[in-house]
Amino acid sequence: MKISNNKVVVMHYAVSDSEDTLIDSSYDDKPLAVIHGTGYLIPGLEDALIDHQVGDKFEVEVCAEKAYGDRHDDYVQTVPKTLFAGIDDLALGSQLRATTDDGEQTVIVIDVQDDEITVDGNHPLAGIDLKFDVEILEIRDATEEELAHGHVHAEGGCGHDH
């Protein structure tokens, strides 16, 4: 069976940046299980999986545009600290939910001053070309329930109400 839309794909992966710095890996933990074609994976990786089979091991380079997008300088904003009243742990690297003109989004605190906070709305991997090492472990048809819920279920169901 080959990978195509609506197939459950179980795979191991390791992802590195263009300087071979490891960012994340599933090899020392449980493999990743996704429904192909649902947009769970970045577009460049999802495209690269098409037509692969169980046992395939391959490397793919994904440009930033097909990964987490380009960095946008205007996503970095310095705002009054008073906007964060009631939040006790404002430290570098804190992730917060912010209401923007485009709806809710996650921002990361990148600078804390006495009366101002600088936040970055870019994804932490925006602007970075990525390299994936992938091993395909299993491919199967997604069940109707999995397709309806949009995610892979463990044996016996997903364990929560929808």
Domain ranges (residues) in the chain = 7-68+126-149, 73-120
Distance (Å, whole) CA 158 – CA 160: 6
Per-residue pLDDT of the chain (162 residues; tens, 9 = 90+): 999 999 999 999 999 999 999 999 999 999 999 999 999 999 999 999 999 999 999 999 999 999 999 999 999 999 998 888 788 778 888 888 877 777 888 889 999 998 999 999 999 999 999 999 999 999 999 999 999 988 898 754 445 554
Please give the model's pTM, rounded to 2 decimal places: 0.81
Question: What CATH topology corresponds to 7-68+126-149?
Answer: Chitinase A; domain 3 (3.10.50)
3-state secondary structure of 100: strand
Supply the pLDDT for residue 81.
87
φ/ψ region of 47 (left if φ > 0, alpha if ψ in -120 to 50, else beta) reads alpha
* CATH 1.10.3720.10 is the classification of domain 73-120: no
